[in-house]
Structure 1
Amino acid sequence: MIELASVIRDLREELEQAIAAAEGASLRFELGTIELEVSVALERTGHAGAKVRFWVVESGGDATVNSTSAQRITLALQPTLTGSGNPPYISGSAAPDER
């Protein structure tokens, strides 16, 4: 199983690589809402100061988490570039008059 935070971090890194790789390309894609559907298992530690952790079940791993009650969740992520308030373009920096 993989921590949910790691899945989101890896997704962010992949999107940043796509933006960098498309620098100078003439075809642009605006990145809209990302819907991520994952199977998760919930883990709660039983000591003082305990926290809840969400683990993403890897493909083909459903049978191993039956005892921990895997649940399916969908996350809707709205990406924005830091400080811009606008969604990022996968093709790199914006051209004049482009938002």
Structure 2
Amino acid sequence: MIELATVIRDLRDELERAVVAAEGQALRFELGAIELEMSVALERSGHAEAKVRFWVVETGAQATVDGTSTQRIRLVLQPTLTGSDKTFIGGDVEAHEG
């Protein structure tokens, strides 16, 4: 499992790389709403500083993870670039290792 925040951070990193790759390209794609659908497990800590964490479950995982039931969620993200009206992606993006 991976934290939902990590999934979104990694998506942001990939999109930023695609935006950079689009600079100077004749063919570019305007970036619109991004829809993510995933299975998540909800974890609540029982400490005084109670926190809720969402974990993204790998495809094909069982309906329960360590006794925690999973739910399907759909997020719609609207990406924007600071100081820009439009965001374009395109070009070749090298594989990201990390």
2:19 aligns to what? Answer: 19
Partner of 1:89: 88
Greater Cα radius of gyration, structure 1 or 2: 1
Alignment of structure 1 residues 48-59 onto 2, 5 Å: 48-59=48-59
What residue identity is the alignment partner of 1:89? F
Percent identical among aligned pairs is 74
Residue 29 in 1 paired to residue 24 in 2?
A: no
Q: Is the 8 A contact 2:21 2:90 kept in 1?
A: yes
> 8 Å contact 2:15–2:89 — kept in the other structure?
yes
> For residue 49 of structure 1, what is the amino acid of its counterpart?
E
Which AA in structure 2 matches 1:52? V
Question: In 1, are the aligned partners of 2:22 and 2:88 still within 8 Å (CA)?
Answer: no
Distance 1:42 1:61 in 2: 15
Please list the CA deviations of residues 26-66 of structure 1 after superposition, one character each: whole Å capped at 9, or x if unmatched.
Answer: 01110000000010000000010111000000123235527
Instruction: Return the TM-score normalized by structure 2.
Output: 0.83
Mapped to 1, the partners of 2:86 and 2:42 lie a distance apart of 31
Q: C-alpha separation between the residues in 1 aligned to 2:15 and 2:51?
A: 29
Between Structure 1 and Structure 2, the one with more strand by share is 2
Counterpart secondary structure, 1:5? helix
Moved over 4 A (4+): none
- Match of residue 97 from structure 1: none
Give the drift of 1:87: 3.6
Aligned to 2:5, the other structure's residue is in SS state helix
